[in-house]
Structure 1
């Protein structure tokens, strides 16, 4: 069975700042902020939420189908997806635009500053989602605003259960819109900051929110994650990584593992544990799509 992954395909330009952002930014001078960071390390990777999640699922043996758009510079990304065995049935190229671009700067404490140009992503709503016999699951991850709204409605109309993962796209929506997303979704995933913002905008608490879906997961970075089911919280501890090299794409690796587990019909706690394992594996590699899942990870799942 296949999983539809709605979100961005992007090129990530990843830069390494050897100092600490906090030492370069004066809190009392934010109103006249003018800073420059020397970044000796720079590389370009394939990225974007849909691409990163699809990569993780494929590493685990799944059948991911990204629902995303590329610009006229996206031929290399299409070729890469096909080489990985990831279907491109729902990947559309938009002429006259660039593929989405993320410029990510990481300091020595793994804090990140990101600038994002959406490009072709803003046309993602042109691709419709309809019922298909081989599609079992879906996810709404950060994408163009119209695409997120329309794809959620289309998943619901097609009877396809899906994860609502608003991520960096959360600030685009007001409380009523977020509440509607939750009512359409089967599961919700957020990090701790996004969880606070989501609850604040909806005017609810996490335990109340969890009663409106089958499961709610709040990821906590190096502290693992909390699972909420029917108002009850369960903590799933973190997995210690072999090394902390690059956090870019860790959340997407986690979500790919979550979807893999949900596709197998696992309990949510088991899905989250595999997510923590994959996140730990990813953070030890540079770039969002350069780690390899070995038999050890699969055996522990």
Structure 2
């Protein structure tokens, strides 16, 4: 299976606030919020949703093409991705902008306040799936992850025109999308990814009920943090998969991207949805234990231990042939 992952490529500035955001917010002043949090740690790391997913897929052995836009400062980052097995030949390099920036502060309860600067991402529409297929062959799946909103729309249209199955992952961009735009991104998706909050926001944007969403997307995966993931399909009962528990979570940024990479790598291997989701949850548990979305070390043996401890011996046996080569 050959997967193109489209979306943001960014540098992450990750800060830690030792208190709780909620303690600083006054309920009767929500219309006039003016706050500053003194962070006690700053980490600068490679990131971006598309790059995170692509790297996770590549580390799990899935052939992966990264499609997006980066700045003239991308040289070192691009080399890092290529060293980890990601095809970056189809990344558009802007002459005028720096690579996007994600600036995020996390409190002690793992709540986050973040700002995203688009930078080179405003030119993302110049990286197309048509050019990928013309230059390097057919694609089996495209992930349409958070990106320049116009690029997300055009990439989704390309998927339909070229007959490429696609995964819709509007995530953070739901805040900027209109109802019609959101509906266009979801219609016909093989997979739809949201977290629990985004699921409610997507329903508000589209005006669709949960059942109606599943009339337009084949499979809807709703991640719920430590509560695991719910998987919905039209005509089937919702399936719940527990998360892999983590004793000491370190940094939640990129955990959802890791789940997506693990799940799609499982689909690549022909796993049933439940087993693919377990692999996604196992990879997410590894990422949450390090600072940075791409800093984790991947070990098949470690993933199998986490899977066996959470889901049982038979689940680990089923996944072992797919993870031993790691």
Same fold (TM over 0.5): yes
Q: Does 1:234 align with 2:230?
A: no
Moved more, 204-213 or 236-245: 204-213
Match of 1:259 in 2: 264
Q: Tell me which of 272, 288, 293 is aligned to 1:288.
A: 293
Aligned residue in 1 for 2:114: 114
Give distance in 2, aligned partners of 1:10 and 1:118. Answer: 9
Partners in 1 of 2:33 and 2:303 — Cα distance? 47
Aligned residues of 2:282 and 2:303 also touching (Cα < 8 A): no
Kindly indicate whether the alpha-carbon contact (under 8 Å) linking 1:247 and 1:283 is maintained by their aligned counterparts in 2.
yes
Q: Give the Cα separation in 2 of the matches to 1:92 and 1:285.
A: 29
Q: Mapping of 1:124-163 within 5 angstroms?
A: 124-130=124-130, 131=133, 133-163=137-167
Question: How many Å apart are 1:243 and its aligned residue?
Answer: 2.3
Displacement after TM superposition at 1:295 (Å): 1.5
The match for 1:202 is: 206
- Aligned partner of residue 64 in structure 1, secondary structure: strand
- Once the two structures are overlaid, the 10-residue window that deviates more, 242-251 or 130-139, is 130-139
Unpaired runs of 5+ residues, structure 1, are none
**Partner of residue 271 from structure 1, selected from 276, 280, 304:** 276
**Bigger mean CA deviation after superposition, 100-109 or 16-25:** 16-25
The verdict on how the C-alpha distance between 1:94 and 1:141 changes in structure 2, with shifts beyond 3 A counting, is same
Aligned-pair CA distance for 1:133: 3.5
* Other-structure match for 1:87: 87
In structure 2, distance between residues paired with 1:214 and 1:265: 17
* Aligned residues between the structures: 301
Normalised by the size of structure 2, how large is the TM-score? 0.88
- Partner in structure 1 of residue 2 of structure 2: 2
Residues of 2 paired with 1:23 and 1:48: CA distance?
30
- 1:60-71 pair list within 5 angstroms: 60-71=60-71
RMSD: 1.5
Structure 1, 266-275 or 162-171: larger mean CA deviation: 266-275
- Per the alignment, in what secondary structure is the counterpart of residue 95 of structure 1? coil
Deviation at 1:125, TM superposition (A): 0.5
By how many angstroms is 1:207 displaced? 2.4
Q: Is the 8 A contact 2:153 2:184 kept in 1?
A: no
Task: Evaluate the alpha carbon distance shift between residue 24 and residue 296 of structure 1 in structure 2; reply closer, same or farther with a 3 A threshold.
Answer: same
Structure 2 contact 189–216 (Cα < 8 Å) conserved: no
Separation of aligned partners in 1, 2:209 and 2:215:
10
Runs of 4+ in structure 1 over 3 Å off: 131-134, 297-301
Q: Which secondary structure state, in structure 2, belongs to the residue aligned with residue 80 of structure 1?
A: helix
> How far 1:59 sits from its partner (Å)?
1.8
**Runs of at least 5 residues in structure 2 that lack an aligned partner in the other structure:** 305-315, 320-326
